Amino acid sequence: MKALFEVLRPDQKDWALAEAIDPNRLPAHIAVIMDGNGRWAKRRNLPRVAGHKAGVEPVRVTVETCARLGIRALTLYAFSVENWKRPRAEVDTLWRLLRIYLRRELPNLRRNDIRLAAIGRVQALPAQAREELEAAVQATSLNRGLQVNLAINYGGRNEVVDAVNAVLDEARRKGRLDSLIVDDDAIASHLYTAGLPDPDLLIRTSGEMRISNFLLWQIAYAELYVTDTLWPDFTRTELLRAILDYQKRDRRFGGLSPAGGSPSRESHFVGVGATAR
Ligand code: IPE
Ligand code: IPE
Ligand code: MG
């Protein structure tokens, strides 16, 4: 968190918010459904793509703030498998903006030890966007600071299907298909987010109370934070507020909150008919 205070002044409201945050209880992984670009533009009588353009800066601010806070992972929903239903011109603009973002931000990502990953069926992207995305992923692959997952041509159901097929392929290759038993760990370790903790906090902008096919498996116990703010208006202040709100939640993971201790997602409560591990 020290790095965050470097860019704040004591008279700023973000300073007070940052001071209120408990550095020992930060979410390890934050996921964001960046929604409301179209409505932001419409309110200004601008074409929808103007909203997407205005949505690039809050991406930059969110990445920088998470890096300065020392958050381990940030997953940003940039394009869903369902978003292909939109007009061709809008979709093309999104690919163009992705390329602009990558070109502009790659030096900052490298300088700040940020690792970029892409989750989703990126093979289906137009060649130029795909190549630049893959190059940026490659160029930051050894970085060990914040991991930023860009969810692009991403679908939560696709991800689970891809994971199941990967489990089957692996068993087939090893000649173990006949004795294969699929459990939670087998699926989780073949998801696009394998190796990362599940999101602790899921933020959705623009007030919509739905998941829209995002990280279906991983958000089983995420704390949800929905704000009416439209994505282009999302700020560092709002991110800090979301984290503070998260820190006030009582996370029980199906158990009871023990007096004086925080419950752990690792706890296993054995119910009737269940076998202890
Ligand atoms: C989110 O904003 C960006 C993408 C889905 C690519 P929208 O474009 O969905 O904006 P609204 O929801 O129409 O306002
Ligand atoms: C979810 O937003 C996808 C992204 C933010 C990339 P949508 O705008 O596509 O979701 P719906 O259609 O409102 O559910
Ligand atoms: Mg939307």
Q: Look up the CATH number of the domain holding residue 89.
A: 3.40.1180.10
CA of 212 to the centre of ligand 2 (A): 6
| Residue 52 belongs to a domain | yes
The whole-model pTM stands at 0.94
**Mean pLDDT, the chain, integer:** 94
**Within a domain: residue 211?**
yes
Give the residue numbers spanning the domain of 74: 28-153+199-249
Distance, CA 251 to ligand 1 centroid (Å)? 30
In a domain, 161, yes or no: no
pLDDT at residue 242 is higher than 70: yes
Query: What 3-state class would DSSP assign to 153?
Result: strand
**CA–CA dist 121, 151 (Å, integer):** 9
| Residue 150 CB less than 6 A away from ligand 2 | no
**Domain annotation covers residue 3:** no
The total number of structural domains in the chain stands at 1
Inter-axis angle of helices 56-69 and 88-111, nearest 10: 30
33 in a domain, yes or no? yes
pLDDT at 169: 98
CA 259 to chain centre: 32
CA 57/CA 78 separation, integer angstroms: 13
- Please determine, for residue 276, whether its predicted confidence score (pLDDT) is greater than 50: no
Per-residue pLDDT tens digits for 82-104: 999 999 999 999 999 999 999 99
Residue 37 has pLDDT above 60, yes or no: yes
Cβ–Cβ under 8 Å, residues 209 and 35: no
The average pLDDT across 105-110 equals: 98
Let me know: does 85 contact 158? Beta carbons within 8 Å: no
Which residue(s) pair with 224 in the sheet? Answer: 202
Determine the pLDDT at residue 274. 40
- Cite the active site residues: 35, 83
In a domain, 258, yes or no: no
Is residue 170 included in any domain, yes or no? no
